[in-house]
Amino acid sequence: MSRFAITKVQAIILVVVIAAAACAVFYLVTHPPNQALEKAEPIKEEPEEILIGTAVSLTGEESVSGTCARNAYELAIKEVNDKGGIEMQELGRKLPVRLIVYDDESNPEKSANLIERLIIEDKVDVLLSSMTTPIVEPQTEAAGKHHIPFISGSGAASHIYSKGYRWIFTVCPSIERGTITLMDFIREQQEEGNLPKPLKIAMVWENTSHGKDFQNGVQQRVEEFPGNFEIVLDKSFTWMTTDFTPLLNEVKSADADVFLSDAHEADFMLMHRQYTELGLSHLLVSYGARGSEEIAREEFASAVDYLVSIAWWSKDTPYPQVKDFINKYETTYGKPPEWYAGTPYEAARALLQAIEDAGSLNKAKIRDALSYLDLSNSTVVGQHLSFKENGQADYPLLIIQNRPDGTSPIVYPADVATAKATMPRPRVQFGCALSLSGKFEEEGRLTEKGYELWKDHVNSQGGILIGNDRYLVNILYYDDESDPQKTASLVEKLVTEDEVDFLLGPYSSSCVFEAAVVAEKYRVPMVQGGGAAEKIFTSGFKYSFGLLTLAGDYFKNILEGAASLEPKPNKVAILSASDLFSQSAAKGAKQHAEHLGFEVISFTTFEKEEELPSILSDLKEHEPNMVLFSAHFREALSFVRTAKAVELTPEMFGITVAPPDPVFVEQLGKDANYVFGPAQWAPDLPYYGPVFGSPEDYAQLFRDTFGKEPDYHAAAATACGVTYQLALEKASSLDREDVRDALVSLDAMTFYGRIKFNEQGRDIYKPMVAVQIQKGKRVIVWPEHLATGSVKYPTPSWEEREPVLKVAVLHYGSIEDHGWAYEAHLGAQGMADALPYVELSERKEASGPEAPQIIREYADAGYKVILGHDWGFGEYFEEVAPDYPDVIFMWGNGVEKKAPNVGIYYGGMYEARFLTGIVAGAMTKTNKIGYPAAIPIPEVVRGIDAFARGVASVNPDAKVYVEWIGEWYNPPKEKEIALSLINKGCDVITHHSDSYNSGEVADEEGVYYISYHSDMRRFAPHVFLTGAVWNWAPVMTDVVKAVREGTWDEYPGQDWWYGLAEGGVKLAPFSDLVPEDVREMVEEKKQAIIEGEFEVFPGMTDEELREIYYFEPNVVGELP
pLDDT for 43: 47
| Residue 1087: how many other CB atoms lie within 10 Å | 12
Q: Which of 268, 275, 160 is nearest to 208 (CA)?
A: 160
Q: Is the pLDDT of residue 39 over 60?
A: no
Tell me: pLDDT of 779 over 60. Answer: yes
Rounded to 10 degrees, what is the CA torsion of 220, 226, 229, 230?
A: 100
Mean pLDDT, range 1112-1120, rounded to an integer: 95
Give the gyration radius of the chain's Cα atoms.
Answer: 40
Element (H, E) at 767: none
Structure confidence by residue, pLDDT tens digits, 173-193:
999 999 999 999 999 999 988
Q: How many CB atoms lie within 10 A of CB 389?
A: 8
| Arithmetic mean of pLDDT over the chain | 91
Q: What is the largest CA-CA distance in the chain?
A: 154
Closest CA to 161 of 184, 129, 204, 183: 129
For the stretch 349-372, pLDDT in tens is: 999 999 999 999 999 999 999 999
Distance CA 960, CA 916 (A): 13
CB atoms within 10 A of CB 318: 12
Omega of the bond prior to 32 within 30 degrees of 0, cis?
no
Asked whether the beta carbons of 62 and 106 are under 8 A apart, the reply is yes
Amino acid at 1029: V
* Residue type at 740 in one-letter notation: R
DSSP assignment of 902-949, as one string? EEEEEE-HHHHHHHHHHHHHHH-SSSEEEEEES--SHHHHHHHHHHHH
CB contact at 8 A, 177 and 317? no
Virtual torsion, Cα 351, 354, 359, 362, nearest 10 deg: -70
Task: Please report, as a single letter, which amino acid is at residue 668.
Answer: L
CA quadruple 165, 264, 411, 375: dihedral sign: positive
Cβ–Cβ < 8 Å for 572, 623 = no
DSSP H or E run through 267: helix 265-277
Is the bond preceding 198 in cis, omega lying within 30 degrees of 0? yes
- Res. 6: pLDDT tops 70: no
Residue-level pLDDT at 35? 37
Band the pLDDT of 27: cuts 50, 70, 90.
very low
Q: How many Cα neighbours within 13 Å face the side chain of 297?
A: 13
Partnered with residue 573 across adjacent β-strands are: 602, 627
- Length of the chain in residues, anyone? 1120
pLDDT of residue 817: 67
- With a cut of 90, say whether residue 897 has pLDDT above it: no
pTM of the model: 0.54
Taking the C-alpha atoms of residue 355 and residue 345, their distance in angstroms, rounded to an integer, is 16
**Burial (0-12, 13-18, 19+ Cβ within 10 Å), 669:** exposed
Instruction: Please provide residue 479's backbone torsions phi and psi, each rounded to the nearest 5 degrees.
Output: -90, 115
SS3 223: helix
Nearest to 576 by CA among 619, 537, 518: 619
The span from the CA of 126 to the CA of 365, in Å, is 12
- Rounded CA-CA distance 523/541 in Å is 10
- Please check whether residue 217 is in contact with residue 178, taking contact to mean a CB–CB distance below 8 angstroms: yes
Is the model's pLDDT at 2 over the cut of 60?
no
Q: Are 1052 and 1067 in contact (CB under 8 A)?
A: no
C-alpha span between 569 and 581 (Å, rounded): 25
Distance CA 426, CA 882 (A): 67
CA 199 to chain centroid: 30
Determine what percent of the chain is predicted with pLDDT higher than 90.
79
User: Whose CA is closest to 1028, among 935, 914, 889, 942?
Assistant: 914
- pLDDT tens per residue, range 495-548: 998 889 999 999 999 999 999 999 999 999 999 999 999 999 999 999 999 999
Model pLDDT for residues 308-350, shown as the tens digit of each residue: 999 999 989 989 999 999 999 999 999 999 888 999 999 999 9
Contact between residue 152 and residue 127 where contact means Cβ atoms under 8 Å apart: no
531/524 Cα distance (integer angstroms): 18
Whole-angstrom Cα distance, residue 32 to residue 25?
10
φ and ψ of 53, to 5 deg: -115, 150
988-989 sheet: strands from edge to edge: 1065-1067, 1024-1030, 1008-1013, 988-989, 928-933, 959-964, 1115-1116
CB 635 within 8 A of CB 667: no
CA distances from 225 to 259, 431, 813, 1014 (A): 18, 28, 63, 72
Report the distance separating Cα 365 and Cα 361, nearest Å: 8
Q: How confident is the model at residue 4 (pLDDT cuts 50, 70, 90)?
A: very low
- Measure the CA angle with vertex 107, ends 103 and 112; round to 5°: 80
More confident residue, 775 or 973: 973
Q: Is the model more confident about 30 or about 219?
A: 219
- Taking residues 239-253, report their average pLDDT: 92
Give residues with Cβ within 8 angstroms of 895, minimum separation 6.
874, 904, 1106
Confidence of residue 213 (pLDDT cuts 50, 70, 90): very high
**Of residues 944 and 36, which shows the higher confidence score?**
944
Question: How distant, in Å, are the alpha carbons of 14, 265, 301, 1005 from that of 296?
Answer: 68, 9, 7, 48
What angle do helix axes 695-706 and 441-460 make, rounded to 10 degrees?
100
Query: Cβ distance 789 to 799 under 8 Å?
Result: no
Q: In the predicted model, is pLDDT for residue 34 greater than 60?
A: no
Model pLDDT, residue 575: 98
Distance CA 675, CA 640 (A): 9
Give whole-number Cα distances, 245 to 144, 149, 200, 430, 542, in Å: 39, 42, 21, 25, 42
Strand partners, 1115: 960
Q: CB-based burial of residue 899 (10 Å sphere; 0-12 exposed, 13-18 middle, 19+ buried)?
A: middle
Q: Do residues 803 and 789 touch, judged by C-beta distance below 8 A?
A: no
- What is the distance between the terminal CA atoms of the chain, rounded to a whole angstrom? 132
Listed in sequence order, the residues at least 6 apart from 763 whose beta carbon sits closer than 8 Å to its beta carbon are 545, 546, 547, 548, 754, 755, 756, 757
Cα separation, 190 vs 198, in Å, equals: 9
Of residues 512, 502, 499, 573, the one with CA closest to residue 541: 512
Q: Closest Cα partner for 526 from 750, 280, 688, 757?
A: 757
What distance in Å separates the CA atoms of residue 824 and residue 87, rounded to the nearest whole number?
84
**How much of the chain exceeds pLDDT 70, in percent?**
96
DSSP code at position 762: B
Residue pLDDT, tens place only, 613-659: 999 999 999 999 999 999 999 999 999 999 999 999 999 999 999 99
